[in-house]
Chain A
Amino acid sequence: MTMTATAPVTDERVGKKSTLSKILGRPEIGALVGAVALFIFFAAVAPVFLQPASIATVLYGASTIGIMAVGVSLLMIGGEFDLSTGVAVISSALMASLFSWYFSMNVWVGVALALVMSLGVGFINGWILIKTQLPSFIVTLATFLMLTGLNLGLTRAIGGSVSTPSISNMDGFDSAKAIFASSVNIAGVEVKITVFIWIAMVAVASWILLRTRVGNWIFASGGDSNAARAVGVPVVKTKIGLFMAVGFCAWVLGMHNLFAFATVQSGEGIGNEFLYIIAAVIGGCLLTGGYGSAIGGAIGAFIFGMANKGIVYAEWNPDWFKFFLGLMLLLATIVNLVVKRRAEQK
């Protein structure tokens, strides 16, 4: 046989897929449309919203949700979700704070221990899930309750109060604060460091998801874990790893909370887990797994940040915030659904 250079054969059934419909097929497109619409809306009703300082504030608000949403998005794509994230953030901060304070150690020791504990909580969540085959709703609900109790009980037992003693004058506090809770001056605007941490984490997560074997395994574990297992994907390791990634995110945010305020309220964090899940869902992650993106979760968090601060800038009563959040969740998911169906038909 001789090889002749022939023009690539194109299938007549491949209708030209327009660039537009390709873009519309992306998981995060619904959220992006929503984010732009919301931005224009608040820019119109509250001119102060457009000032650089306001945008920095919005980004900060978004980053505190977004850092967790990175892990939660990946986990959701992997087919599971985690209700313990909100309190896990506080647990991590409490661990670092109380340990350093009680043993009068350099705070970095506490920070390292908190990381170990956060990864451990993630591991236990994943391990119980795999061993018992229970839905992640039940397993992480149990973890949520247990952590809530531990946060309150241990804080009172060790520190004698509902909040931890301040660690602001302990060794290593300043260097830790510089890493987790400082601000960067960009053209005269103070931008919180969490914004950069957030962006970096989204970039790394996107890279992992789309360009590594592990990313492939995450999609497969969430999309169809039986099929994935049958072709040799280590589904168990992937899922446990995802829960540990969520634990890592909780640690990052927990450290920010601790070093931003030097003290931690032990009863905080309850309810935040839904914000992270909402951000991921608004961002186009499928609740049933197998579909979504890290960027989507980031856009979801940005929408949250805009709505949260925008209401303040528009001088409305913040009581309305939750209503808007619910409405946005509904709209965004409907838009996602419609866009996805339309893109698939083309």
Chain B
Amino acid sequence: MSIISISGLTVDLGNQRILDGVDLNIDAGEWITIIGPNGAGKTTMLRSLLGTVEHAGTIELDGTRPTKPIERARRLAYVPQSPVIPGGMLVGDYVLLGRTPHRGVFGRDSDTDCNIAMDVLTRLDLADFTMREVGSLSGGERQRVVLARALAQQADIVLLDEPTTALDLGHQQDVLDLVESLRRDRGLTVVATLHDLTLAARYGDRIAVLSGGRIVETGPPSAVLTAATIAEHFGATVRIIDDPDGPVIVPTTGGPS
């Protein structure tokens, strides 16, 4: 059975229909990457899963519909595209925020919470950063810290919204490799949005194309990332080079004729 079943997901923001009947099933342990042009509603789709935007349609996790934020937070961890970095907060405390769904509004951080946070920090090579302020870190370090907070949540589904924005190529690879190894070790289900199509082709089992408020295609990268699909939904002319690691998308100069 699918770990996430989305059917008829519709979201209106203001007078604009952003999502218009999205249907998608996601299997436990898979990595699915959602691609689509700017404004297609990728972030809105992740927010719907989190319950932070009002939506119509159904979203089920393992066949049930969580209603309270705390129930969702125990299943879904979220890495936002531009996380809010609180002034003066130390890395250790920031990662401990990930334990919130387990301790509730009033509970204090137990030794177990601290051990879990320290485990994650060590796993992400951040053990020496615990007493640094999050705001003082570089972009790559910050992204790892935000990922650490999400992992400290110990949710079985991780939502990544453009996790590689603002990172150089090396750090993009680091972050995505890290997510991939964690997925294998912990059996995580990963739902990511990515702009870089070649990168999207290299990570994950499946790609879903979101366009015009609907999922228009899903499948393995080599099947979905064709010149025709990209021309239709992104308005871009590209050449696809087959590579053993997945298709490489090369923009051609001149644009559509």
Chains A and B are bound partners: no
- Interface of A toward B, CB cutoff 8 Å: none
Interface residues of B (CB under 8 A from A): none
